[in-house]
Homo-oligomer: A and B are copies of this chain.
């Protein structure tokens, strides 16, 4: 490490870690910008938070699941799910029944109104994803998907331990 012109903004000798090169930092910044743009859009247009959108998305794929499974499938904790559901139900986008076989559990699903929102938001989200990926070549995209799978898997194993 050596001085730049002016002797200002010196990269210091003792430094061992460059934040800009640090993987967790890079992932965090990337993740934030990837989510922010689209999140702002459906927040403004539909009053949906990320937590609410994720909840709707999994209910779009898995009708009739309980809150616990929403939490698993959205990687959110049960408190966040509870709050997201409270708002979605208040807005009439999600319906909740009590499971007959276990009265603690709920049976959740999108209402007609919820499906209407879903049918508008999902394409926006997918388009946004496409725009992000458009910056990569086909090969890079394949590698990215592969690497995410690998890391995902590694995490699961880590948690399982």
Contacts and interface: CB of A to CB of B under 8 A. Distances in A.
Give the interface SS of chain A, mostly helix, strand, loop or mixed.
Answer: helix
A146 B140 contact: yes
Contact of A17 (B11, B29, B126): B126
Interface residues of A, number: 66
Contacts of A18: 61
A159 B10 CA distance: 27
30 contacts: A9-B64, A14-B118, A16-B60, A16-B119, A16-B126, A17-B125, A18-B61, A19-B57, A19-B58, A19-B61, A20-B73, A22-B57, A23-B129, A23-B133, A24-B31, A24-B35, A24-B38, A24-B128, A24-B129, A26-B152, A27-B27, A27-B30, A27-B34, A28-B34, A29-B152, A33-B158, A136-B147, A136-B150, A140-B146, A147-B147
Given A16-B60, A27-B31, 17 more contacts: A12-B60, A16-B118, A17-B125, A18-B61, A19-B54, A19-B57, A20-B73, A24-B38, A24-B132, A27-B30, A27-B35, A28-B75, A29-B152, A30-B148, A30-B151, A32-B75, A136-B150
Interface of A: 8-12, 14-20, 22-35, 38, 54, 57-58, 60-65, 69, 73-75, 115, 118-119, 122-123, 125-126, 128-129, 132-133, 135-136, 140, 143-144, 146-148, 150-155, 158
